[in-house]
Amino acid sequence: MDNNWTLVVNVGSTSVKTALFTGDLVLKAALNASQNSTEWAIDGQGLDGCAVTASQPLTSPITTLVAGLLYNWRCLLQSAGIKLTAIGHRVVHGGIDFQTLTLITPRFLDCLGKLDAYAPLHNPANRLGISLAGDIFPGIPQFALFDTAFHRSIPERASRYAIPQQLCATVAFHRFGFHGISCQHSLTRAASLLGCDEQALNLIILHLGGGASITAVSAGKSIDTSMGFSPLEGLIMASRSGDLDPAIILSLLQQGWSVQQLDNLLNHQSGLQGLCGETDMRTIISQASAGEDKAKLAIDMFCYRIKKYIGAYYAVLGKPHALVFTGGIGEHAPLIRANIIEGLEALGFCLDAAANQSCQNNSDISQPTGDIRILVIHAEEEHEIARQINNFQSATLT
């Protein structure tokens, strides 16, 4: 049996995703729990003879979800005779300081707690996962990988905002970017698909899901990304506004809107939700095909904003080697991919219509004669965390 087992824990504000990997990075089991359903959606796979049974009421706090899931893992692993060698955690915000995979120590936790102001919905939940994993699996090394780390290479001309630098004592207003773990995974997969070194690649990476972002990668490094100080900036998303004239916020403040109302508006009532009353792109596409004008407009605006960013990043990069689609929409919505590419043929983006319709994950859907490859890559953040932990441990042993 494999002697290297890594458990990856991804704690959100209302859900938890976990995955077990072998030393060869084979996914052996995945257990997920959501606070938004009446029962945990838990599925165990790859561990013969190990059953998983658990359910919790809708009102269970995230603490109960995380603790229950980790206790299930302990039972599963004991039954299978497996001893973990590492636990990895996705942490949303690493601020300015954390740029790489980091071993979790008491000093690290003290520093991480100071970053809650940057991501108040996510970082406390991430720290909860770290704390509970330490209690339930004492003595197992734990590591953190940050969504913001991949973007620490962005130069100051792209990361600074045109405002005075010192406006707040507790946070730095800076373009941090997000989806960095997904971007690193896309970069690694793209290098494999194209048969070249990561450090030689120029890419435009589109992570399209409930949250959406676009990243420019030059010589294997992020040099710009659409999300900024927070995940609100940039592309139109499921319920987030994306780019917005700040004067709109000032006008609403003058009309008496509270900070809480504005937060709810921008994060939960805008984007696709604000345009057509739906957040699921599959539903929106179905409505558009049935002639719903609001759904058609939502798709047009979603794709138009992305197309503008592609043009901007093309200007910054020069001709990229590939355009990457990843994330739930990027991987599973051929209509969206086709709408985004339409009109970009003069720049070298030539979509193979048949390949686009029938594509599998981790595939090339561009025409053979196209100057720029168009890739669809399955988003595997948990796999990327396990991969980096394995690399770290291998380097430490040698």
Least confident span in 44-48, 62-66, 101-105, 363-367: 44-48
pLDDT at 54 over 70: no
SS3 readout for the chain: CCCCEEEEEEECCCEEEEEEEECCCCEEEEEEEECCCCCCCCCCCCCCCCCCCCCCCCCCCHHHHHHHHHHHHHHHHHHHCCCCCEEEEEECCCCCCCCCCEECCHHHHHHHHCCCCCCCCCHHHHHHHHHHHHHHCCCCCEEEEECCHHHHHCCHHHHECCCCCCCCCCCCCECCCCCHHHHHHHHHHHHHHHCCCHHHCCEEEEEECCCEEEEEEECCEEEEECCCCCCCCCCCCCCCCCCCCHHHHHHHHHCCCCHHHHHHHHHHCCHHHHHHCCCCHHHHHHHHHCCCHHHHHHHHHHHHHHHHHHHHHHHHHCCCCEEEEEHHHHHHCHHHHHHHHCCCHHHCECECHHHHHHCCCCEECECCCCCEEEEECCCCHHHHHHHHHHHHHHHHHC
Query: Confidence class of residue 43 from pLDDT cuts 50, 70 and 90?
Result: very low
Taking only the tens place, the pLDDT of each residue in 177-190 is: 999 999 999 999 99
pLDDT at res. 48: 46
Which of these is catalytic: 43, 147, 280, 364? 147
pLDDT at res. 370: 84
pLDDT at res. 156: 96
Query: Confidence class of residue 3 from pLDDT cuts 50, 70 and 90?
Result: confident
pLDDT at 259 over 70: yes
Query: Confidence class of residue 320 from pLDDT cuts 50, 70 and 90?
Result: very high
Q: For this structure, is 147 an active site residue? A: yes
Q: Look at the pTM and tell me if it is higher than 0.75.
A: yes
pLDDT at res. 166: 84
Taking only the tens place, the pLDDT of each residue in 219-257 is: 999 999 999 999 999 999 999 999 999 999 999 999 999
**Domains of the chain, first to last:** 5-146 (3.30.420.40), 196-380 (3.30.420.40)
Average pLDDT over residues 107-128: 90
Average pLDDT over residues 15-38: 82
